[in-house]
Amino acid sequence: MRNGIIGSGNWIYDNVKTLDRWPGEGNLCNILSMVRAPGGGPTNVLFDLAAMDKDLPLYASGLLGKDEPGEWLFEETKKRNIDVRYLRQLDGVSTSFTDVMSAEGKRTFFHCRGANDKLDYPDFESIDVPAKFFYLGYLLLLAKMDSADPKYGTVAAKVLDLMRGKGYKTIVDLVSEAPDRFRSVVIPALPYIDIMFINEVELGILSGIPLRSDDGKLLVKNLPAAVDFMFEKGVKETVIVHFPEGAGARSAGGKYMYVPAPRIDPSDIVGTNGAGDAFAAGAIYGLHAGWDLEKSLRLGGASSHFNLLCASASGGAVPLEKMLDFLKDCEYYPIPE
């Protein structure tokens, strides 16, 4: 019986800098704190899952530089009892990193691509573990994976087909980068994706359906059609769109649902870095365990809630029992009209 999750894609270390305010262009602000922390899709998802359940088999796949930050991130991964046999360190290239600037509930990323841009199809051919899910994040931030393939459209699509052929359910997440490339990079991969995570900004760009009004209001009535677009373009099982107010989702053949996020006092929010990945980790845990979609989304909301209480991308992760206790008594945001 298959059990466990492979996490692959962007392995990053974050330089998280908390600012006293968000400055205008050319203005100065003060850095209140600075910390180096793990970051990137597979890093965040696997580290969150490791905190949730120490007995869940987890496998790391990807590339680091053979440098001090790469060694640090490799050791941080091992500390969490994550299998690192497919996490390689390369000579002559730096480990990918991001300067994360956070203030007033806003965040901006200054990213150095480094080793992640070399991740390619051959890196996946030898993967052979009895996991159930294969997670890949992020499309649009992996140069080789985003590049063209004559048969599949992109190398990422070819890799996802390979992993489905090995018996894994494929899970994919995106990064909010390069809107002009969204359709050319993402759409070829959709027929090889079982479970898709996407935020409302990315989904709006991809589908062409507006999901925010000019004044920033979530256009709830447009969400089902945007989710349907993803199935029309090939997603196999489940589409989950997440946003600060909650999540909308549908499984193939099922009804669309909206699940609001747990309410949080804005003054309690330390940072939003990794909130989407934390949501994905909670939802993935539920789906892996065989929970229904609504229960899985609520766990994703709880995971994201705890993430907001910490500046780093996975430093707020807590055990499953703590999240389940939180969900018993938490209040939810109202569903927007």
pLDDT tens digits, one per residue of 127-162: 999 999 999 999 999 999 999 999 999 999 999 999
Give me the pLDDT at residue 11, please: 97
Q: Which amino acid is at 222?
A: N
For residue 126, the 8-state DSSP code is: T
Give the tokens for residue 32: 């209140």
Residue ranges per domain, the chain? 5-12+39-98+118-329
pLDDT for 71-125, tens place per residue? 999 999 999 999 999 999 999 999 999 998 888 777 788 999 999 999 999 999 9
| Residue 25 main-chain phi, psi, to 5 deg | -60, 130
Mean pLDDT computed over 254-271: 92
pLDDT single digits (tens) 10-54: 999 988 888 999 898 999 999 998 889 899 999 999 999 999 999
Mean pLDDT score, 276-285: 97
pLDDT recorded at residue 314: 82
Average pLDDT over residues 181-199: 97
CB proximity list for 219: less than 8 A, separation 6 or greater = 210, 211, 212, 213
- The reported pLDDT for the residue numbered 176 is 81
CA angle at residue 314 from 193 to 304, to 5 degrees?
70
Averaged pLDDT of the chain? 95
From the list 227, 160, 165, 210, the residue with the least C-alpha distance to 188 is: 160
CATH 3.40.1190.20 fits 5-12+39-98+118-329, yes or no: yes
291 burial (CB, 10 Å; 0-12 / 13-18 / 19+) is middle
Q: pTM of the full predicted structure?
A: 0.93
Residues 282-334 pLDDT 10s: 999 999 999 999 999 999 999 999 999 887 768 888 999 999 999 999 999 99
Q: Which helix (H) or strand (E) holds 48?
A: helix 41-52
Give the whole-angstrom CA distance, residue 198 versus residue 161. Answer: 20
Cα–Cα dist 194/207, whole Å: 18
Question: Per residue in 295-315, is it b (16+ CB within 10 Å) or e — as a string?
Answer: ebbbbbbbbbbbbbebbbbbb
A 10 A CB-CB count for 225 gives 12
Is residue 179 pLDDT above 90, yes or no? Answer: no
